Structure 1
């Protein structure tokens, strides 16, 4: 059993009991991303359970992914280097993206855990 969800500008294939890294949750502020914060994701695009496949247009109604945040962290730093040739202009800076790791507890459709 698995589901395809949309969160953080990405589409993910999620399964119960596994953890995933997401760049950002739009509805949660960084101060609310503490450990064991329960989350509900309503943007479910598809659910596959045994032999049945439910596809939304664009999202499934009455479908919820229940999970909790394990921890939030910063990803590895990327270095951006900008240079204009023949102008002696150089600029170097870095950036670290906020990220959160969450675990999927259950997939619900029409109020029933699958």
Structure 2
């Protein structure tokens, strides 16, 4: 059984027992987090597609940890202008573990 969910403006394919990283969510580590924006549910070949979301479907997850990704360096240089800007960014994420998918 798997589902396709939407969170943080991105879509993820999730299965029970799997870990995955999403954009940071406001929940403490160890807490339970429910994702209700379910786009598709496949239950052993029985596929349910939402328009846009599947009603009464939800994915229950456990928040494992919060973290920050690798640094991305943004460097802009304007030739012959003696101008350069160097910036860095580390995206924050939350690691979730899928406990149950209900449709």
TM-score band by shorter chain is over 0.9
Unaligned runs of 5+ in 2: none
Following superposition of structure 1 onto structure 2, how do residues 40-59 of structure 1 map, counting pairs within 5 Å?
40-59=34-53
Q: How many residues align?
A: 103
How far is the alpha carbon of 1:85 from its aligned partner? 1.1
Q: Distance in 2 between matches of 1:17 and 1:88?
A: 54
2:98 is the counterpart of 1:107: no
In structure 2, the residue matched to 1:14 is 14
Equivalent of residue 69 in structure 1, options 24, 39, 63: 63
How far is the alpha carbon of 1:41 from its aligned partner? 0.4
How far is the alpha carbon of 1:35 from its aligned partner? 1.5
Q: Distance in 2 between matches of 1:23 and 1:97?
A: 8
Q: Distance in 1 between matches of 2:98 and 2:57?
A: 14
Instruction: Tell me how large the CA RMSD over aligned residues is.
Output: 0.9
Q: Which has more strand, going by share of residues? A: 2
In structure 1, the residue matched to 2:85 is 91
Three-state SS of the structure 2 residue aligned to 1:86 is coil
Normalised by the length of structure 2, the TM-score is 0.95
CA distances 1:41-85 after superposition (whole Å, capped 9, x unpaired): 000000000121000000011001001110000101111101111
